[in-house]
Amino acid sequence: MTNISFDNILINFGFGTKEEKKKILSENSEKKIFMDLTCYDPSAFYSEFPQLKGTFAALFCDELKKIEIHFKERDQAVINKLVELGFTPIEISIISCGFVFPRTIVQIINEAYFALDEGVAKKEDINRAMKFGVNYPKGPFEWSEGKEIYVLTLLEELFHKTQDKRYIPSKLLK
């Protein structure tokens, strides 16, 4: 994880366990904190940590670096800093575990892994089918490459929160 501090603001980037994220929040209670919570439920963090003023989802962003950001308290300085770092923040009002884009694609990725495990097709064929059959910008395995831990963490978080079996991850992700 990386922290960037300026004025009385702390922006926390990167992947960490829930406990690691909470530790940062606890240790910086005097600051306004904006945190990447791609794999978790922001509402649970907001209610526990009043110093958390905004959350964003950057773990799945590609070279365009477009990210969802939710503000409990909007702060233009944070937007400016993210832009300075090369991000394009898209402000959202929906608070959802896994935000919108990560939550949607981890389910697509999970299904692709189930299909792979069942021998339905090879990775390249699944990627190709989704790009050229329904115009997806990337194939499921292109989205997940090197990010399997984020996919797995978010699926487990969604299952933990909802107890819905639709979020049980493919064993290939474990």
Partner 1 sequence: MDIKKVVVIGAGTMGSGIAQWFTQQMCSVELVDNSQEQLLKSLQSIHLSWDKLLEKNKLSLEKITEMKRSLFIKSLDEVSKDADLVIEAIIENLDVKKDLFKKLDNHFSSQTILSSNTSSFPIELMATAVSSERKKRFVGLHFFNPATIMKLVEVIKAKDSDERLCQDLYQWFESNDKKPALCKDSPGFIVNRVARNFYGEPLRIVDSDDEFKMKEIDHILREVGGFKMGPFELMDLIGIDVNYSVTCSVWEAYKREPRFAPHALQKQMVEEKRFGRKVKRGFYKYD
Site of interaction with partner 1 (CB under 8 A) = 61-62, 64, 66-68, 90, 92-94, 96, 100-101, 103-105, 107-108, 110-112, 114-115, 118-122, 125-126, 128-138, 140, 164-166
CB of 54 to partner 1, least distance (A): 16
Residue type, 93: S
Q: Which is nearer to partner 1, 25 or 155 (CB)?
A: 155
Residue 70: enclosing H or E segment and its boundaries? strand 66-71
Q: Which is nearer to partner 1, 74 or 166 (CB)?
A: 166
CB of 126 to partner 1, least distance (A): 6
CA dihedral 96, 101, 103, 109 (to 10 degrees): 180
Coil/strand/helix, residue 79: helix
Locate tokens 């009002």: which residue? 93
CB of 38 to partner 1, least distance (A): 12
CB of 53 to partner 1, least distance (A): 21
Q: Which is nearer to partner 1, 9 or 108 (CB)?
A: 108
Q: Which is nearer to partner 1, 133 or 146 (CB)?
A: 133
Classify residue 114 by burial, with Cβ atoms within 10 Å: 0-12, 13-18, 19+. middle
Q: Which is nearer to partner 1, 49 or 101 (CB)?
A: 101
CB of 90 to partner 1, least distance (A): 5
Task: Report the distance separating Cα 106 and Cα 47, nearest Å.
Answer: 25
How many CB atoms are closer than 10 A to CB 145?
A: 11
Locate tokens 């110093």: which residue? 51
